[in-house]
Amino acid sequence: MVGGKYKSRKYRKTYRKTPGGRCVVHYSSRKAERAKCFKCGRALQGSKLIATSHEGFLPKTAKGVSRIFGGSLCGICAKEILKTKARSI
């Protein structure tokens, strides 16, 4: 049984095969990452480096810019989507 702190999703699990043939689990801490655009994958401007475990504790202003699709899309993708929506009406 693993220790209590490894039961949360704070640590990344990787499965490794030992030279003896056993399969063991290695736990490593997750890297801090910038929020990314869900369309193109570029890092969002105005977002800070966020460790996954601390995301909920940051202020709203640190998670993205305050415009439409601010915390989820980059400026270029938001512009494209708004253009296509406006033209389809």
Query: Alpha helix locations (H) across the chain?
Result: 75-88
Nearer to Zn ion, 54 or 79 (CB): 79
Does position 77 bind Zn ion by CB under 5 A?
yes
* CA distances, 53 to each of 17, 30, 50, 63 (Å): 28, 8, 8, 14
Segment contacting Zn ion by CB under 5 A, of 12-20, 25-33, 36-44, 63-71: 36-44
Does position 37 bind Zn ion by CB under 5 A?
yes
Binding site for Zn ion (CB under 5 A): 37, 39-40, 74, 77
